[in-house]
Amino acid sequence: MKLKRMWPGLCILIVFMIFDVIMVASSSFFSGLFPYSDTKLTYSIALTVLGVLIMSVLTFLLGRICDHIELESLAHSIGVRVIYALMLIAVFIGGIFYRLYILGQTTAEPTGKLSLFENAQVGAKAAGAEYDLLSIVYTDILRFIMYFTGNKITTAYGLQIAFFMIFVILGTITCKVLLGKAGSVIFASYVSFMPIFTENLQKAVIGTDELFLTMLGVELFVIGIYLRNASDGKYNSRWYVIWYVFVGVIVGFMTYLDAGTFITVLPLLLSVMFMAGDKGYKGVFSFLFVSLSGVITFFAMITQEAGFAHMGAVLGNWSDYYFRNLNTFSMFWTYTNYKLLYLITFIVMSGVLVGYFRNKNFGRISPWLLATILVFVATPFFGATRMNDQNVVTVFFAFVLACVVSLITLTRQEQIFDEDIEEDDEDDSVDEELRTIIGDEDAEYVPLEKKALQGPRYVPEGMVLPTGSEDEMDVDASKMKMPKFEGKIGLDRKSSEHKITVKPEIKTEPEHKERKVVFRKRTEYKTAHVEKENKKDDFDLPFKNGDDFDL
């Protein structure tokens, strides 16, 4: 994804850096690294400044190294692709075994929403009705699996592990299409092995948190594909309206499921209108269709609960559930058990400050930074939304880490998509096809309008053609103004070497030919043609046999 460099992106960067510095300072203050209270504040400020400076220097140096080794060109080689695939496979397998190990080591009793497991048991009586959509989907999927595994509580935990790893795969693909291969590896590694995501397994909690993350991953995946195609300029057909409608359906459904998701993904959706190289406002056109289909889907989901007659009441209950100020904002990184990990995370996130200016042609991280800011600013006022949950916020921290790595590996020479350049490439492909058809692939294709100006150029032996700007630019010779010359250029073959003779102009009578008999001997005579004497001027040059101009 490549966005235009505009001043709102710089404003978003400044606001994000303010938030990040506050998080670094607060995390270091409560990290326990400085036990003495009288110097804790001083050391925390010093650690914040040094951490941000060191990360900025590392970002700059690593970026220069990537430019030197031309990492962007190496990313398309077969060897790098194989290594990339092996790394992701290792991360996914490692994440699965890590969770299985945590689950095997736990001694806690099953807790959480146990009705999900009880209602899913095969042949058992339902413990109670489920009303929220996530619980209904969770129960149905778990019941289907229990037909093969039996009514085992470990099946529910295994299903939650599967849900989470599906989310990791979807998030990794989203990072790859929007931020590159290196960023996707960092995201997958961070989310797979961050201990905060295994707490439900440690405490043996049964719930729908992992299922919600999976559905959020589906939404991000669809939006990621939508933005990548827009960045590559692939929306050139009206048939893509179907795809716009599908994206809107996903966004509208997720908004109905959790209002906080709309605020979080809104920066990503808005970025389609600021794609670099989009000169035809295709992004605006697609965004309108996505918004329209999203609104229709949202109200359709509201209507299906109780029909059109009670749509107002259902919408009121939905808004009361979410849009109320519960002041749920909390600085969880100050009291979590993983203070040091969050401190390192916040310091690394500060690398966006230097990385943002590595490429002046376009940007790609502003939507992710704005989404992370909105998680703190907007979602605390959304009531019971899951988007201000510690796990979801940490997921967006992982996306920011992927942004930092993406900026480091981003080369300065990388160009943006341009519709005009794309048309030139199409013309070149047509020319290549024409050369292939005529059987001469090495021949240069010349348009018809240029062929009319080209012709054989006969040059005397030894003459050197000029190489001025006019020849290089293929100027139309028929439109050039040539100086008017009156006179005649001639070669005096009888004059001596290095001597120019100019004969005065002689007035002669009208041209005519006469025959004259010249008697040399009495018995011999000879006739001769007397021709008019040629005029000569300053351009008459001496000439002798052997000169280069001797034709």
Over the stretch 535-549, which tens digit does the pLDDT of each residue have?
555 555 665 666 555
Q: What average pLDDT does the segment 440-450 reach? A: 48
- Return the top range by mean pLDDT from 4-13, 82-91, 451-460, 542-551: 82-91
* Contact in structure between 302 and 314 (CB atoms under 8 Å): yes
Res. 420: pLDDT tops 60: no
Res. 516: pLDDT tops 80: no
Per-residue pLDDT at 58? 92
Per-residue pLDDT at 498? 47
CA pseudo-torsion sign 150, 151, 153, 158: positive
Per-residue pLDDT at 253? 93
Domain that holds residue 26: 6-413
Per-residue pLDDT at 488? 55
Per-residue pLDDT at 44? 86
Per-residue pLDDT at 524? 47
Residue 434 lies in a domain: no
Q: What average pLDDT does the segment 440-468 reach? A: 53
- Return the top range by mean pLDDT from 112-121, 151-160, 234-243, 503-512: 151-160
Per-residue pLDDT at 166? 95
pLDDT level of residue 287 (50, 70, 90 thresholds) = confident
- Token pair, residue 270, equals 């808005």
Name the phi and psi angles at 160, rounded to 5.
-65, -35
Per-residue pLDDT at 496? 45
Res. 437: pLDDT tops 50: no
Residues 6+ apart with CB under 8 A from 453: 474, 476, 477, 478
Q: Higher-confidence residue: 11 or 414? A: 11
Distance of alpha carbon 28 from alpha carbon 234, whole angstroms: 46
Residue 544 lies in a domain: no
Residue 475 lies in a domain: no
Res. 249: pLDDT tops 90: yes
| Domain total in the chain | 1
Residues 6+ apart with CB under 8 A from 68: none
Residue 550 lies in a domain: no
Per-residue pLDDT at 497? 46
Q: Higher-confidence residue: 113 or 475? A: 113
Residue 221 lies in a domain: yes
* Contact in structure between 16 and 404 (CB atoms under 8 Å): no
Distance of alpha carbon 446 from alpha carbon 443, whole angstroms: 9
Residue 105 CA: distances (Å) to CA of 201, 206, 307, 369: 10, 17, 49, 37
Q: What average pLDDT does the segment 349-358 reach? A: 86
> Could you tell me which of 173, 404, 250, 183 has the C-alpha nearest to residue 165?
173
Per-residue pLDDT at 465? 58
Q: Please, what's the b/e burial string for 506-533 (b: 16 or more CB within 10 A of its CB; e: otherwise)?
A: eeeeeeeeeeeeeeeeeeeeeeeeeeee
Per-residue pLDDT at 460? 60
Residues 6+ apart with CB under 8 A from 388: 260, 328, 329, 375, 379, 380, 382
Angle, helix 153-179 to helix 133-149, in steps of 10 degrees: 120
Q: Higher-confidence residue: 515 or 158? A: 158
Q: What average pLDDT does the segment 125-141 reach? A: 81
Q: Higher-confidence residue: 338 or 347? A: 347
Q: What average pLDDT does the segment 53-79 reach? A: 84
CA pseudo-torsion sign 89, 91, 94, 98: negative
Write the pLDDT tens digit of every residue in 314-340.
888 887 777 766 655 566 666 677 888
Cα-atom radius of gyration of the chain, to the nearest Å? 40
Distance of alpha carbon 450 from alpha carbon 459, whole angstroms: 21
Q: What average pLDDT does the segment 200-227 reach? A: 91
Distance of alpha carbon 248 from alpha carbon 246, whole angstroms: 5
Per-residue pLDDT at 529? 45
Per-residue pLDDT at 397? 92
Per-residue pLDDT at 212? 92
- The count of residues in the chain is 551
Res. 523: pLDDT tops 70: no
Per-residue pLDDT at 445? 46
Q: Higher-confidence residue: 490 or 108? A: 108
Q: Higher-confidence residue: 226 or 468? A: 226
Per-residue pLDDT at 252? 92
Q: What long-range pairs does 128-135 form, CB within 8 A, spacing at least 24?
A: 133/257, 134/208, 134/211, 134/212, 134/215, 134/257, 135/208
pLDDT level of residue 184 (50, 70, 90 thresholds) = very high
Residue 455 CA: distances (Å) to CA of 444, 458, 464: 15, 10, 18
Exposed (0-12), middle (13-18) or buried (19+): which is 337, by Cβ within 10 Å? exposed
Residue 454 lies in a domain: no
Write the pLDDT tens digit of every residue in 374-392.
887 776 677 777 887 788 8
Residue 320 lies in a domain: yes
Q: What average pLDDT does the segment 423-433 reach? A: 49
Residue 153 CA: distances (Å) to CA of 130, 145, 160, 454, 536: 19, 12, 11, 84, 116
**Which of 48-62, 113-127, 151-165, 464-478 is the least confident region?**
464-478
Res. 219: pLDDT tops 60: yes
Residue 534 lies in a domain: no
Residue 281 CA: distances (Å) to CA of 168, 274, 442: 34, 9, 39
Per-residue pLDDT at 123? 76
**Which of 354-358, 407-411, 509-513 is the least confident region?**
509-513
